[in-house]
Amino acid sequence: MDEATAVSQAVKIAFAAVNFLVWTGLFLYLLRLHGKVRRLEASAGPETEGRP
Amino acid sequence: MKTLLSWLLWLWIGLVIVAGYALVPPLAGFVGGGESSRILFFHVPMAWTSFVAFLAAGIWSALYLGRKTRQRRHDLAAAAAVEIGLVFCLLATLSGAWWAWVEWGGARWELSAFWNWDPRQLSITAALIYYAAYLALRSQVADAEVRGRIAGAYAVLGLFVAPFLFFVAPRMATFSLHPEPVINPEGDVQMDPSVLWLLLAGSLGFTVLFFWLHNLATRLAILEDRNEVEA
């Protein structure tokens, strides 16, 4: 593998890793938000429960 | 069960990301030895998801306007769909401008390198303006009932405007900088099967992500609305 190909591969891996980390961060935030919404609905009463 | 589905979505989009960089070969005809084409796997699903969101907003608005189906939550669901759709639409526009900078602008630090007056750039900007106006309209009407009706009618009109801007208008132009195999006047999709499958997988993942985001946003809006009514 020449130097240019190695650099190209490294850049690709770096891009994929950053994308994956951003997605995982967003996903974990959404999971946390999901739990928070459930708790808020539970404290507000049964009328706001469930999908609209 | 819902948590399991959420983790499946994480895995699905994660695999799309990995496959987009590792499995699909770079496409011929793109700069950087074809590597710049990888933005397709994010740019196209984002544009698709914004279209789904705008259609969903129109459908929820139609439900709100219907006499038998009128519920306040339908109006709140429509507004949430437009808000999230605008985020996806903006991301599609920005990622498209970045791609245009690399692909067509020669990576020059000039505004014209990001913006090429391409028919698809113009039509997505028109969609952004149309749905930003929906939110502006909502913000100007204080009465919830009147707001729901006016904004609902506007979003139902969007059921015709969005397909026109996303699919018809770009194909009416005789010239486009967008890759011919992706968008052509005949409406044919001619591309490598691995690219097509990954685009479809990405679009499906982003669409499910939209409905999850929408579910949370609408439930929060309902809680907020209930607090306002009680206050």
The verdict on a CB contact (< 8 Å) between B222 and A48 is yes
Where do the DSSP E strands lie in B19-129? none
The verdict on a CB contact (< 8 Å) between B17 and A16 is yes
The verdict on a CB contact (< 8 Å) between B6 and A34 is yes
Nearest to B155 by CA among B45, B39, B77, B73: B77
What whole-number percentage of chain A has pLDDT above 70?
A: 85
pLDDT, tens digit (0-9, with 9 covering 90-100), for B126-182: 999 999 999 999 999 999 999 999 999 999 999 999 999 999 888 887 777 776 655
User: What are the distances in angstroms from CA B7 to CA A31, B4, B215?
Assistant: 9, 5, 16
Give mean pLDDT, residues A38-51: 73
DSSP assignment of B114-158: H----HHHHHHHHHHHHHHHHHHHHHH---HHHHHHHHHHHHHHH
Domain ranges of chain B: 38-230
Q: Which residues of chain A lie closer than 8 angstroms to B18, CB-CB?
A: 16, 20
pLDDT, tens digit (0-9, with 9 covering 90-100), for B33-52: 778 888 889 999 999 999 99
Tell me B35's DSSP state.
G
Q: Which residue of B has its CA nearest to A52?
A: B73
What's the maximum distance between 2 C-alpha atoms anywhere in chain A?
A: 65
The verdict on a CB contact (< 8 Å) between A41 and B223 is yes
| B34 part of contact set with chain A, CB < 8 Å | no
- pLDDT reported for residue A48: 47
- pLDDT reported for residue A3: 81
Cβ-nearest to A52 among B14, B21, B73: B73
- pLDDT reported for residue B189: 60
Q: Which residue of A has its CA nearest to B212?
A: A30
Cβ-nearest to B216 among A12, A23, A33: A33
Report the C-alpha gap between B11 and B187 in whole angstroms.
Answer: 32
The verdict on a CB contact (< 8 Å) between A52 and B213 is no
Nearest to B202 by CA among B44, B23, B5: B44
Residue in the structure block whose two tokens are 């750039």: B121
| B23 part of contact set with chain A, CB < 8 Å | no
Cβ-nearest to A16 among B3, B22, B226: B22
This model's pTM is above 0.95:
no
Task: To the nearest 10°, report the CA torsion of A30, B59, B207, B136.
Answer: -60
Tell me B33's DSSP state.
G
| A9 part of contact set with chain B, CB < 8 Å | no
Report the C-alpha gap between B48 and B166 in whole angstroms.
Answer: 9
